[in-house]
Amino acid sequence: MQLTGWIEESGRLLDRAGIETFATSRLAECGGEFIIETDDCFIRDKYHIMPGLTEGKRVITAEPRVPDMPLCEAIETAVSLRTAKDAVTTLSGGVDSSLVAVLAGLPCIAVGVPGSHDLEAAEKIAEILGLPLTVKEIGTDDIRAALEEVLAVIPRITPLDVEIAITGYFIAQTAKEAGASRVLTGQAADELFGGYARYGRSTDLRADLAADFAGLAQQRERDAAVAALFGVWYSLPFMDERVVRASRTFSPEELVCGDLRKTALRKVASTYLPEEIAWRPKKAMQYGSGVSAALEKIAKREGCRRSGELIEKLAAGKI
């Protein structure tokens, strides 16, 4: 039996020796971020967070048995299970990553162009929380050099995917340089708790959240492909089944009220964070890091009208 990643049963971390005697049916009720290879099958965590090949055998997707919990307890448990010596937390200044960071107490990393929104916010928040922070400033030449590596590995090439993947490239690189193999992030909080501006205009918030949550599978493939360039992987506390279940106990009005979004999560976060952080608005990663604007500058420098044209030509081998 081979275990990749980590696995838990009822909140208790298990190792390979601890699961050797488990039947397949029992393993398929465990939580974590893992791939287990047995003699006749692969068993994967529920949301296929742990990347890896599973070919030649049937694949069983786990359905973890976890108790219903209040949101605060669910998030605490999820972060605690993922906190490890080989991990860092990515910090961008938003409530999602700040909550994970303060609960994990791990070293943090932040990336962005000099003077970017995310770098300034991360430095301020790390100081307030008393957390060590490694900052990586990236320039247009760094981003241009990373472009072709990113385009070669991501499964779907769109301007948005490339912008996010470029930011992820430098997050993974910085994590590797910090000696980490696991990066805790705040991913999925927007899709669970209503973080995007469009949710304020939704006529069926629950349906929109469910559709966006399902769409995270494609995002994980993109992010995992880029992270693999540096031998690291993303660990996602908000995709712990306890947190997912807790998020679904709130009414739409408890999640989104006009321009105020992720209300339920922010109320929990205010238990652990100063109000100014818990209720702070956040720019999307590609904008906050400055990567989107930098790509536009690169495009113009290379004779393209917009970054989308640059990406299209690079992908087609025309540049």
Residue 49 confidence (pLDDT) above 90: yes
Chain centroid to CA 219: 9
Q: Of 115, 135, 123, 129, whose CA–CA distance to 93 is shortest?
A: 123
Burial (CB count <10 Å: 0-12, 13-18, 19+), residue 224:
buried
Mean pLDDT, residues 291-298: 93
Predicted pLDDT at 223: 96
- List strand residue ranges (DSSP E) for 53-129, in order: 58-61, 87-90, 108-112
- pLDDT tens column, 23-32: 999 999 999 9
- pLDDT tens column, 7-46: 999 999 999 999 999 999 999 999 999 999 999 999 999 9
Residue 122 confidence (pLDDT) above 90: yes
Mean pLDDT for the chain overall: 94
Predicted pLDDT at 66: 96
Q: Where are the domains of the chain?
A: 2-61, 71-288
- pLDDT tens column, 198-214: 999 999 999 999 999 99
Tokens 């997912």, located at residue: 244
Q: Is the pTM of this model over 0.85?
A: yes
Residues 6+ apart with CB under 8 A from 247: 71, 192, 193, 264
Rounded percentage of the chain residues whose pLDDT exceeds 70: 100
- pLDDT tens column, 126-136: 999 999 999 99
- List strand residue ranges (DSSP E) for 97-176, in order: 108-112, 133-137
Mean pLDDT, residues 147-162: 94
Pick the CATH number of 71-288 from 3.40.50.150, 3.20.20.70, 3.40.50.620, 3.30.70.360: 3.40.50.620
Pairing relation of β-strands 182-184 and 233-235? Answer: parallel
Predicted pLDDT at 152: 95
Predicted pLDDT at 110: 96
